[in-house]
Chains A and B, each alone.
Chain A
Amino acid sequence: MAAGGGIDPIHQFEIKPIVGLKLFGLDLSFTNSALFMVLTVAVIALITLFGSRQRATVPGRLQSLAELSYEFVASTLTGVMGKEGMRFFPFVFSLFMFVLTANLLGMIPGSFTVTSHIVVTAAFAFLVIGVVLVYGIVKHGSHFFGLFVPKGAPGWLLPFMVLIEAVSFVSRPISLSLRLFGNMLAGHVALKVFGGFVVMLTGTIGVGIVLAPLPMLLAIALTAFEFLVAFLQAYVFTILTCVYLNDALHPGH
């Protein structure tokens, strides 16, 4: 959005309150971010609940979409964790659908991308790691910490290996949240910058108008690429979630 002639690529990430709400001294206003979270849930509910209402043996379009999502996530999950991983299916499915839908809704011009905020992606990442820790410890007790002790390592290397494993475990939520956040943020900034070039070049008289199609073409290519990224990042987030949850199911490499 052009603000006073210049193009501000950061403007799209601003959070603006729609309905003010203060609780316990915290600002819990219903913002544009909250609106798109609710929209995300609404879209998923439309596909999965409205789509499956007829329980048709031969599915219609919306039911096909719901079944496709179900089977896609289910096959991803069982591919990593096996059949017993299906106990995490509602969680993984909700996560994948939320991230994917939020990413795709963000591709609508003028909308807000929920996943372009680090606090959202970090919340998801810590939720995943929290589930891994809680489930792993409840299910396996102290055996869960075998995760940090690689099998077959020579004894004198063990302290070093445990340290590395611990660091890699701790860095998981960080990389998980930063990957999604960075991709969404950078993609939208790049789109906005190239879109801004088009506007600025057409605004100048003369040579600019001839050059304007170049960033336009780039912006079009980037848009297609961003749709790919929107799906890919949701998928990567999901498959890494499955890998981490697999550690909780089967600790000790």
Chain B
Amino acid sequence: MSLKGVVMQIGIATNLVRTTAATALVAAVFILPEVALAASDTGAAKGAFPPFDSKTYPGQLFWLAVSFGALYWLMSRVALPRIGGILADRAAALSRDLDEAAGAQAKAEASAKAYEQALAQAQSRAQGIAQTARETSAKQSDERRKTVEAELSAKASQAEASIAAAKAKAMESVRDLGAETAAAIVEKLTGKAPSAAEAAKAIDSALAR
């Protein structure tokens, strides 16, 4: 037997079960009030307790089927798809907006990063410029100092040379003076003046000692 056949047979069987069960329940629902009514039928004013009054059942079931059927149709065809659509649209709009916001934030962060990078670059460049400026000025002042020192030392050596010349000249005159004085002293002592060459020789030998 094919599976479909089994399913159909079971379907028929359950249909049968369901129909029997439904019939039994309907019968119970219809009979119970009658029993209850019979039991309490000691001259009740208007008959059965209304929920158990089976005379009203067909009407209630009919109008329930009509109204609930209409409600189900309205809900499944019109209302629920529309409300579901509204909710889905809103969820989509929300996620779209969130995505946009995230994108904008990423962009803002990127530009902030770029700005920081540019700032750091500018800072390092400024440092470099300052460094070179410092170095050049140091070099310049160094050079100037060197030239000034050279000038000064030249001047100093010039002065030393002139001092040395002056000193030599002075020494010369001291020698001459010494020679004259020595000649004069010798003349006074001996009464006889030595020659200039002798005096100079004697002074030179005294100075060399």
Residue numbers of A with Cβ under 8 A of B are: 10, 13-15, 17, 23, 26-31, 33-34, 37-38, 40-41, 44-45, 48-49, 52, 55-57, 59, 63, 66-67, 70-71, 89-91, 93-94, 97-98, 114, 116-120, 122-123, 126, 130, 133, 137-138, 141-142, 145, 170, 173, 181, 185
Question: In the complex the two chains form, is A90's CB within 8 Å of B72's CB?
Answer: yes
Known: A30-B63, A33-B56, A49-B74. A15 touches B68 (CB 8 A): no
- Enumerate the 3 nearest inter-chain pairs by beta-carbon distance, A residue then B residue, closest first: A90-B76, A34-B63, A48-B79
Q: Which residues of B contact A67 (CB under 8 A)?
A: 83, 86-87
Q: Which residues of B contact A70 (CB under 8 A)?
A: 80, 83-84, 87
Question: In the complex the two chains form, is A29's CB within 8 Å of B29's CB?
Answer: no
Interface hits, B138-192 → A, CB 8 Å: none
Q: Which of A71, A90, A118, A141 contacts B52 (CB 8 A)?
A: A118
B134 within 8 A of A: no
Question: In the complex the two chains form, is A122's CB within 8 Å of B80's CB?
Answer: no
Q: How far is the CA of A12 from the CA of B72 in the complex (A)?
A: 28
Question: In the complex the two chains form, is A94's CB within 8 Å of B51's CB?
Answer: no
B82 within 8 A of A: yes
- Give, as a whole number of angstroms, the nearest-CB distance from A20 to chain B: 10
Q: How far is the CA of A181 from the CA of B86 in the complex (A)?
A: 36
B119 within 8 A of A: no
Question: Scoring B residues 63 to 98 as 1 if CB is less than 8 Å from chain A, else 0, what string do you get?
Answer: 111111011101110111011111101100100000
Q: Which residues of B contact A15 (CB under 8 A)?
A: 50, 53, 56, 59-60
Question: In the complex the two chains form, is B59's CB within 8 Å of A141's CB?
Answer: no
Q: How far is the CA of A59 from the CA of B90 in the complex (A)?
A: 10
- Give, as a whole number of angstroms, the nearest-CB distance from A216 to chain B: 27
Question: In the complex the two chains form, is B49's CB within 8 Å of A10's CB?
Answer: yes
Judged by DSSP, the binding face of B is helix
Question: In the complex the two chains form, is B68's CB within 8 Å of A98's CB?
Answer: yes
Q: Which residues of B contact A133 (CB under 8 A)?
A: 14, 18
Q: How far is the CA of A34 from the CA of B62 in the complex (A)?
A: 9
Q: Which residues of B contact A52 (CB under 8 A)?
A: 79, 82-83, 86
Residue of A whose beta carbon sits closest to that of B65: A123
- Give, as a whole number of angstroms, the nearest-CB distance from A23 to chain B: 8
Question: Scoring B residues 1 to 16 as 1 if CB is less than 8 Å from chain A, else 0, what string do you get?
Answer: 0010011001100100
Q: How far is the CA of A233 from the CA of B82 in the complex (A)?
A: 27
Question: In the complex the two chains form, is B22's CB within 8 Å of A126's CB?
Answer: yes
- Give, as a whole number of angstroms, the nearest-CB distance from B170 to chain A: 115
- Give, as a whole number of angstroms, the nearest-CB distance from B41 to chain A: 16
Q: How far is the CA of A26 from the CA of B51 in the complex (A)?
A: 18
For B59, B64, B66, which residue has the most chain A Cβ atoms within 10 angstroms? Answer: B59
| Residue count of chain B within 8 Å CB distance of chain A | 49
Q: Which residues of A contact B56 (CB under 8 A)?
A: 15, 27, 31, 33, 117, 119
12 contacts between A and B (CB under 8 A): A13-B51, A14-B50, A15-B60, A26-B58, A26-B62, A41-B67, A52-B82, A55-B82, A66-B83, A97-B75, A114-B64, A137-B11
Question: In the complex the two chains form, is A94's CB within 8 Å of B86's CB?
Answer: no
Q: Which residues of A contact B79 (CB under 8 A)?
A: 45, 48-49, 52, 66
Question: In the complex the two chains form, is A170's CB within 8 Å of B21's CB?
Answer: yes
B57 within 8 A of A: yes
- Give, as a whole number of angstroms, the nearest-CB distance from B47 to chain A: 10
Question: In the complex the two chains form, is A10's CB within 8 Å of B71's CB?
Answer: no
Question: In the complex the two chains form, is A123's CB within 8 Å of B87's CB?
Answer: no
Question: In the complex the two chains form, is A31's CB within 8 Å of B80's CB?
Answer: no
- Give, as a whole number of angstroms, the nearest-CB distance from A150 to chain B: 20
Q: How far is the CA of A137 from the CA of B12 in the complex (A)?
A: 10
Q: Which residues of B contact A10 (CB under 8 A)?
A: 49-50
Q: Which residues of B contact A30 (CB under 8 A)?
A: 63
Question: In the complex the two chains form, is B83's CB within 8 Å of A94's CB?
Answer: no
- Give, as a whole number of angstroms, the nearest-CB distance from A149 to chain B: 15
Q: Which residues of A contact B55 (CB under 8 A)?
A: 27
Q: Given A66-B79, A67-B83, A98-B71, list of 16 further CB < 8 A pairs?
A: A27-B58, A28-B59, A34-B59, A37-B64, A37-B67, A41-B68, A41-B71, A48-B75, A49-B82, A55-B82, A67-B86, A67-B87, A70-B83, A91-B72, A94-B75, A118-B29
